[in-house]
Amino acid sequence: MTACLSTAYLPPVQWFSKLLRYDKVYVEQYENYQKQTYRNRCVIAGPNGAISLTVPIEKPDTLKCLTKDIRISDHGNWRHLHWNALESAYNQTPYFEYLKDDLRPFYEKSFRYLMDFNEELIAVICALIDIEPHIERTSDYVAKREDADFRDSIHPKKNWQEDKEFTPVPYYQVFQQKYGFLPNLSIVDLLFNMGPESVLVLRTATP
């Protein structure tokens, strides 16, 4: 079984659940880039509730631009801000101290293209979770794919409950007593809170 996903910045748990469910996953690179999606945005749980972190992108020269050609902007010291947000959100979690050195380098060097940045981050996270999914970029754009197509359905403005293949499993979250369990946050929320048990949570979330 194969599936197709959009690229994503520190993707939500729902996105990662597809890596376990499907034998092979294609990541779309030839679509026209879409704004306000997980392609350059993630949601984490901070001391004051859910926080959205957005990677700024350079404005394309044309109205339509392929996702593979989208460049990261260095505007606004965003790397420093994102790392500070991650640190303040997760420095009290059981596994942040053990895992932070694997992720911090991504906020200390520049990446030219959004897809490269996302791809390398996902590879490191897969290694930390101890999964080895078969991931490839698409070779061309197909509007109606024959495989399971999640390019537009895994989206911050769409209801994850409509995905019959995904059932969020509650796990320990640092601010749970304050806000209750927040489902389908960025994979780093699961990773920093649950460490090596993250893969078990992912498997249970994929009926």
104-119, pLDDT tens digit by residue? 999 999 999 999 999 9
Residue 76 lies in a domain: yes
Q: What is the pTM of this model?
A: 0.96
Q: How many domains does one find in the chain?
A: 1
Residue 12 lies in a domain: yes
Distance between CA 153 and CA 105 in Å, rounded? Answer: 31
Residue 183 lies in a domain: no
The pLDDT of residue 207 = 74
Residue 87 lies in a domain: no
The pLDDT of residue 53 = 97
pLDDT tens digits along 12-49: 999 999 999 999 999 999 999 999 999 999 999 998 89
User: E strands along the chain, which residues?
Assistant: 2-6, 24-28, 41-46, 49-54, 135-137, 148-149
Residue 204 lies in a domain: no
What is each CA distance from 56 to 71, 132, 180, 199, in whole angstroms?
9, 29, 30, 30
- Which amino acid, residue 90? Y
Residue 185 lies in a domain: no
Q: Which residues of the chain have pLDDT under 50?
A: none
The pLDDT of residue 76 = 83
Residue 181 lies in a domain: no
Distance between CA 113 and CA 146 in Å, rounded? Answer: 28
Residue 17 lies in a domain: yes
Range of the domain at 153: 2-41+53-81+104-172
